[in-house]
Structure 1
């Protein structure tokens, strides 16, 4: 027997088997090498700040923190005990109780929410003019008009619904009974110095900020230009095989979404599926913003920083209906690869019980329309056991657990050197992935990562080494990874810029 021929035949057979195995794996869409289309169908102002430029009084958006200092007393207004009683004017510095979160009605009219979530209003149960914070829901009695000095915008007067201005009579008495003008000087008890603390720039803020007349035009222009067909061609030509598309819960009500959201994001998602099919890309639909907000951040379209998702069964069922709508709509598309049930639920505000209940219902909703699509369960952020979903996930087929890995947003990264960041990726991230990668368990997906970090004045070579380390480690994730994001005004957050400028090679 010709042993050389036998060895050659066996080698060819092994190569063919290996090739077929890889081909079958890739035809199955795994591992995912994707990019997030963030900032498109769910607004994140930090990614494209110019979107907000034309909003009147753009510093007074929903969720902005208003602090008011009396010019006559030199003290800040404060919701005594954080809410539930009177408004006082006796604080020398401003913090939580002295900050009023805005609910914007229009560019000059607002509700003011206090620390304990009550709303500032008139004491309708008393004399009708004293200012209190006792209402759980805003009505006309909790609606105020803010007048700004056109020459000094930080000087404001606040008109109450009874037609009178708020004035400070003493440190413990603020009332709405100042009728005169009195000018803008330091002797006028109705004048306050305004400062803004924090603020959100999400979908709620941009649509409510522009209002029902301008918002539809602004958003349509954004949706039709920010992500276009050529972007999908670019993605395909640069070694990627998929996109993760963040969407908001209101998309299921298009073309008549609840106010202040506007119609059109569903048509943009339809376009994305058409382009994905044309260029052979897989789509992961990601419910990035759930009703009530699952984390209180702008990218979940929180109105004022509060986190209320999952608090009621109706809220959970409403979210399941959104998942069912999206799956049913795209189930027949060959590009529908996965549905991510929710993005970044934050512990402990979102309980594991509520999340588990939702995940069970969400998986069932997807499976009613698609046996082929993967279902992605997002790990909670904040204090939690990173393996807490493993038991739940084992009861389902074709599921993955999404973890997000940024060398940011924590003080542990503040002073790390270039090499220390790379070592952290090689060691800590590898260990973190191995913790949740189990035999016959769910797949693991690094759904968000970026080549940005806290290192100052890093060189191009530093960024290249850092990006390469993450590609190497996250490439071990059994489901794959998705870079955040395709486009961003901050260059290192933009995969498009990173590729075009030679920082990342795929």
Structure 2
């Protein structure tokens, strides 16, 4: 009886220790984001796109088209739902079209109001269709000497021409000498491009994309990287994933299978090296912010109530697969939502996704990203009834005008004053834990010295270490050195 009692005590102690590990015994984390691994962000490694034909005309590329004969821009009247004219002296929203890539040279043109340009019964150009088919598919033929000069061939085999400001039609036959007086010649200006997961997989196409992506996943992050991270003081990784991972190995086109096996490897490597994994749903169906990293096709933010159930299903899948893994640090429900008036939809989703995680684990931390277009304390009252919840805030001294002209000391002072105050606002007694899920040592200061970068990075580490769940640097690897924590550590800019 005594030995049985002794065994029961040992078993209880073992279970308690196991639970404490699952619960994140390393808090607060010193973590790093494995960005551009399982969710592509082309700016971090542009060479990934080098093998794509017409790689500047990927899905979501925004173009403006100017008739060389009329010297006027094409426009979808009223932003869509009407005719297409050639009567604008300058270009803005209604004169900007977003490409949907059908093949290397064939495209749909989506207008401001989200309709597609197509042909009516008389072959005139209109923007009235809500879904593209043959009449909305056009081939872009570029001048080999000047790729900004193009002709556009319609599905009827004829070319678009701007005969007058009110007559744009697909009825021009024959070749061209590319002179400006030719009504079938247009000047194409690329306004913006996207380089995310949709762009790379659809750009390479179903024959090439699987191998390109598999080679990238196999080499970009390896177990050796986990060894390096662990030996240099990091205790966790935050891994961005896309919604298509839940459909592996056969996700909807153009996405390709294989990222799930890579995530499985990460959990094994983390356990081997005493680290934990934060799984971060970075890209959701419909896109929550329109950015490359949201998996968007064309940059529109279309996530809403109709996508909630599908997105909860992704969290359910991840929680079932990893909820009891000893190296799970937490599950983040959505990265950087920018949803404007849809805050109620976000809260509804967060509630249901939280419940999905709790079906499989009472101990796993559930991380809710603060909506970027709302105040950082927006979610505090909402999450009050939840258990083991974390609020994720992202801090970059970049992207807005207020940082453009700050010098070294002003940036550092901003960290110690404003960032410290903001963080204390979401780090409350008996409330959710706080997490600075993204930050970097890059800034807008030109010509900064190594010592300047060290002071700036140290200031952020000092302040962000006050977050009760910890912090995560963006990113582990990047072509830009100061964005790469691996490079920063190896070159003595950051010491953890």
Coarse TM-score class (shorter-chain normalised): over 0.9
**CA distance in 2: counterparts of 1:452 and 1:152, whole angstroms:** 36
Q: Is it true that 1:320 corresponds to 2:317 in the alignment? A: no
SS at match of 1:246: strand
1:99-498 alignment, distance < 5 Å: 99-124=96-121, 127=122, 129-312=123-306, 315-348=307-340, 351-382=342-373, 384-498=374-488
Q: Report the CA distance shift for 1:447/1:369 in structure 2 as closer, same or farther (over 3 A).
A: same
Structure 1, unaligned runs of 5 or more? 1-22
Q: In 1, are the aligned partners of 2:115 and 2:131 still within 8 Å (CA)?
A: yes
* Structure 1 position 26, deviation (Å): 10
* Structure 1 position 477, deviation (Å): 0.5
Deviations 1:372-412 (A, max 9, x none): 11000000002x23212111211111010000001111110
* Structure 1 position 437, deviation (Å): 1.7
Off by >2 Å, runs of 4+ in structure 1: 23-27
Deviations 1:114-148 (A, max 9, x none): 11111000013xx2x11010111111111111111
* Structure 1 position 182, deviation (Å): 3.4
**CA distance in 2: counterparts of 1:107 and 1:38, whole angstroms:** 27
**CA distance in 2: counterparts of 1:26 and 1:378, whole angstroms:** 19
SS at match of 2:187: strand
**CA distance in 2: counterparts of 1:177 and 1:499, whole angstroms:** 61
**CA distance in 1: counterparts of 2:26 and 2:419, whole angstroms:** 24
SS at match of 1:137: coil
TM-score, with length taken from structure 2: 0.94
Structure 2 counterpart of 1:16: none
SS at match of 1:456: coil
Structure 1 counterpart of 2:17: none
SS at match of 2:170: strand
Structure 2, unaligned runs of 5 or more? 1-19
Q: In 1, are the aligned partners of 2:270 and 2:327 still within 8 Å (CA)?
A: yes
* Structure 1 position 311, deviation (Å): 3.9
SS at match of 1:50: helix
User: Which residue of the other structure, out of 72, 75, 80, is the alignment partner of 1:78?
Assistant: 75
**CA distance in 2: counterparts of 1:369 and 1:244, whole angstroms:** 20
Q: Report the CA distance shift for 1:392/1:27 in structure 2 as closer, same or farther (over 3 A).
A: closer
SS at match of 2:63: strand
SS at match of 1:86: strand
**CA distance in 1: counterparts of 2:43 and 2:105, whole angstroms:** 24
* Structure 1 position 27, deviation (Å): 6.6
SS at match of 2:457: helix
**CA distance in 1: counterparts of 2:150 and 2:46, whole angstroms:** 26
Task: Give the paired residue count.
Answer: 478
**CA distance in 1: counterparts of 2:127 and 2:343, whole angstroms:** 33
**CA distance in 1: counterparts of 2:185 and 2:375, whole angstroms:** 51
Backbone CA RMSD of aligned residues: 1.5
**CA distance in 2: counterparts of 1:265 and 1:333, whole angstroms:** 18
TM-score, with length taken from structure 1: 0.93
